[in-house]
Amino acid sequence: MRKYLAFPIGAVFLMTVLWFGRQPPSDDAVIAIYQEHQASLRHLVQLYQEDQVGVIVHKNGSIYPATAEEQLSSDRLELYRTLVKESGVTRSLGGNAAGQVTFQIFNLIPFSPMKTIVYSPAPPPLLTVGNTDDYTFAAGQYQQVCRSIEASWYLCLDYED
């Protein structure tokens, strides 16, 4: 009898994990990460602005693209790795031509809504009211909506259907 119950219980558990894994952290949780790790995040922005290299640094220490290892010294790459580990984010994405740097917050399921902390001299698409916890996206396209944390720093919700 027990072996017959194990499958349905396991299936319910897996579905629960997958459902909650699709849900990004709350705005309050992301803002708390920002407030706690401001020094590391600001230092990373400074590095990206100085180096002007589109490198992605993962929390596990991996670097993408591999050509970044040819463009930056091993000491500089180690500094990126250390700061990402200290920052409370899953990975950092090197800036673009406009000086924007994106820091992704962990989400379990790929292609699900994701919260990011964004440094951007020019404001990204901003909410007019409320927070990103309550925002509903239209289907069928990549979308981003943000709210201001403080000058040039934003909390964004990204979604690609």
Residue 93, CB-side half-sphere exposure with 13 Å CA sphere: 13
Structure confidence at residue 54 (pLDDT):
81
Q: Is the pLDDT of residue 70 over 60?
A: yes
Structure confidence at residue 143 (pLDDT):
82
Which ranges of the chain would DSSP assign to H, the alpha helix? 2-21, 27-36, 38-51, 68-71, 74-87
Q: What is the pTM of this model?
A: 0.80
Tokens of 87: 């920052």
Using DSSP's 3-state secondary structure scheme, residue 147 falls into strand
Give the start-to-end residue ranges of the domains of the chain: 24-160
Structure confidence at residue 148 (pLDDT):
94
Residue 155: phi, psi to the nearest 5?
-105, 125
Strands 91-93 and 63-64: unpaired
Residue 27 or 138, more confident = 27
- Cα–Cα distance, 154 to 147 (Å, whole number): 6
From the list 135, 75, 130, 56, the residue with the least C-alpha distance to 144 is: 135
- State percent of the chain over pLDDT 70: 82
Length of the chain: 161
Whether 97 contacts 49, CB under 8 Å = no
Whether 24 contacts 113, CB under 8 Å = yes
